[in-house]
Chain A
Amino acid sequence: MGRYIGKRILTGALTVLAAIVLSFLLIHLAPGDPASILSGMDSPSPEMEEALRVKYGLDQPLLSQLWTYLKNLAQGDLGESISNSRPVAELIAERLGPTLLLSLTTAVLSLLLGTALGIYCARRAGSKLDAAMNGVSYLFDSMPGFWLGMMLILIFASSLKILPTAGMVDLRGGYTGFAHYMDVLKHLVLPGLTLTLISTPYFFRIARSSVIQVMSEDFITTLRATGMSESRIFNKYVFKNAILPTVTVFGITLAYIFTGVAVIEIVFSWPGMGSFMLKAIGNRDYPLLMGIYLILSISVAVCMIVVDVIYAFIDPRIRYS
């Protein structure tokens, strides 16, 4: 088990490293020289150029520049945002909370909902309900998250006026304590619903196909031949085996959800990293964009490692190896 966990941590670390190297390469490969990219000005003043040169070592060979970049990162220095003139790390820290709230809530909800529905339909495979659910799952899978979000706003917020249109809190409310939590919750419904609806189909399909697969295995037929009841077969044998692929896939789906959350945040003006990203794109604020990319990569890698460790404990084949 130790070896398995060690390998997963290595992959996670390599992913973060790859993201860092890619960011670094992009600064140097993109049109325009690194100084103008990092400072945001087309022709930076000599003082600015000197400051950048000292900080990033721009006149040195590429590899030592990479080393300097890594050293800066290790100290938590992600550069300075051009449009906000504040350290990128500070800006991201302020916005990480809302993003994590939205994405992790959605991830867990879609995992539970998708798996439950998948199992339910798998046990009734071939029925009309199953076919209908399959169709619905394909439908939601085909929807762009931003479009679904806008449609939900149109229906629930604009027309029916039962839910807020945007933001995380009611700016005029000034709520504290419990009321504050309820306010955030009310604002979380639409963006969370949107993201959940587009992420659930994936879990649904995995759970369904995995249950169908396990139920068709020989040992299940043997158990049936011994006279064991269907429900006992399912609860004791099928469920545990079928649930494993879902856990494996959870980590990968998290990457997918972190991708979707940025666009959803923009649609709902949710004060997370996604909406920040839009402004950064508009301002060509590359240090901020790269910082967001890095932090998200690290978040996904960390979540994946956690999920893989959980998986190592659940799967007896790994636990006892």
Chain B
Amino acid sequence: MKRALSAINGNIQLKIGTILIALLVLVALLAPLLATHDPYVLGDELTAPPGAKHLLGTDGLGRDVYSMLVYGARTSLLIGIVAAVISGVIGTLLGGIAGFYRGSVDRTLTEVNNIFLIMPTFFLILLVVAMFGSSMLNVMLIIGLTSWVGNARLMRAQAMSLRERTFVLGAVAIGESKRQILFKHIIPNGIFPIIANTTMNISGAILTEASLSFLGLGDPNVISWGQIVFNGRSYLTSGWWISTFSGLTIVVTVLAFYMIGDGLNRVLSPKLRNNN
């Protein structure tokens, strides 16, 4: 724990990123306490500019923008983290299997990897959400199912190098089954770059969800920042605060996760550390 804290302190990006995300998690957890109004209630003052009563103004239906942003943190965090974890799990499994077993399994999985790399997955996500419905679960699943490519690549490289290490060869000599080796030795030792990459995937997932909401394909029952930007579009000149502030929160959140991911990369990888 102490080592983790000193590592975070030593790296400016990690420090800022962790602080921002900690703040964000707090906001998401304490939303009912921090919000000034009920974000779902349609108020009387339509498109009111930021002021004393409504900190960041109201939208076209009289809802308080600040409160909506506060509650929206829950949606974005939840979708971002779950989708990234799904993609992390899939990527680790597929990459680990490909890199460890090699041979035709590797060739097939690498080809699948290349296909998903080229394919414009955003449109696939669009199609699926349009056809299967835009519930939060669908969004999380489909984003997770299409963004595992980077993780798989990383895990594969790790697996390929780890399988030659002495302790793995030793495990083979003792007679451990390949599956045991994969799950006991390869994956736990190769997981670190995946963790950094998964943090960046959280950013990607939040951006994708925001884009989906902007196109009207987000979950209509929950408040999401992308949805607020979408609602603010009709009021761009008369009520610029609606889209501006919601977009800014997206930028800050995505940036914070990027910084954590980048900081983790630098801390965990000696090669990058020298370029600091």
Interface residues of A (CB under 8 A from B): 11-12, 14-15, 18-19, 22-23, 26, 30-31, 37, 125-126, 138-139, 141-148, 150-151, 153-154, 158, 212, 251-252, 255, 258-259, 262-263, 266-267, 277-278, 281-282, 284, 286, 289-290, 292-293, 296-297, 300-301, 304
Contact = CB atoms under 8 A, between A and B. Distances in A.
B192 interface: no
A281 B207 contact: no
Contact of B124 (A22, A141, A212, A266): A22
Interface string B111-149: 100110111111110111011110000000000000000
Given A11-B118, A143-B251, A144-B226, A293 B123 contact: yes
A252 B217 CA distance: 26
B117 A31 contact: no
Given A143-B251, A150-B247, A296-B120, A30 B131 contact: yes
B118 A255 contact: yes
A259 B120 contact: yes
B240 interface: yes
B120 A284 contact: no
Interface in B207-240: 207, 210-211, 214-217, 226, 229, 233, 236-237, 240
Contacts of A144: 207, 210-211, 214, 226, 229, 247, 250-251
A206 B124 CA distance: 27
Contacts of B210: 144
B132 A296 contact: no
B127 A290 contact: yes
30 contacts: A11-B114, A11-B118, A14-B111, A19-B119, A19-B124, A30-B132, A125-B275, A138-B262, A142-B203, A144-B210, A144-B226, A144-B250, A145-B211, A146-B214, A150-B229, A150-B247, A255-B117, A259-B121, A259-B122, A262-B123, A278-B215, A281-B126, A281-B215, A286-B130, A289-B130, A292-B123, A293-B120, A297-B118, A297-B120, A300-B119
B259 interface: yes
Contact of B250 (A147, A150, A151): A147
Contacts of A292: 123
B180 interface: no
Interface residues of B, number: 45
A147 B127 contact: no
B71 interface: no
A199 to B, nearest CB: 13
Contacts of A154: 236-237, 240, 244
- Overall SS of chain A's interface: helix
B48 interface: no
B66 interface: no
B255 interface: yes
B254 A251 contact: no
A252 B236 contact: no
B100 interface: no
B130 A15 contact: no
Given A142-B203, A147-B247, A255-B119, A26 B211 contact: no
A15 B118 contact: yes
Contacts of A284: 130
B259 A138 contact: yes
Contacts of A125: 275
A263 B131 contact: no
Contacts of B47: none
Contact of A37 (B131, B207, B217): B131
- In this complex, which of A14, A153, A259, A300 has the most chain B Cβ atoms within 10 angstroms of its Cβ? A259
A263 B123 CA distance: 11
B233 to A, nearest CB: 7
B258 A141 contact: yes
Contact of B217 (A139, A281, A301): A281
Nearest to B259: A138
Given A11-B111, A258-B120, A281-B215, A26 B237 contact: no
B120 A252 contact: no
A15 B275 contact: no
Given A11-B115, A144-B214, A297-B120, 7 more contacts: A14-B115, A139-B255, A145-B211, A147-B243, A212-B275, A258-B120, A259-B123
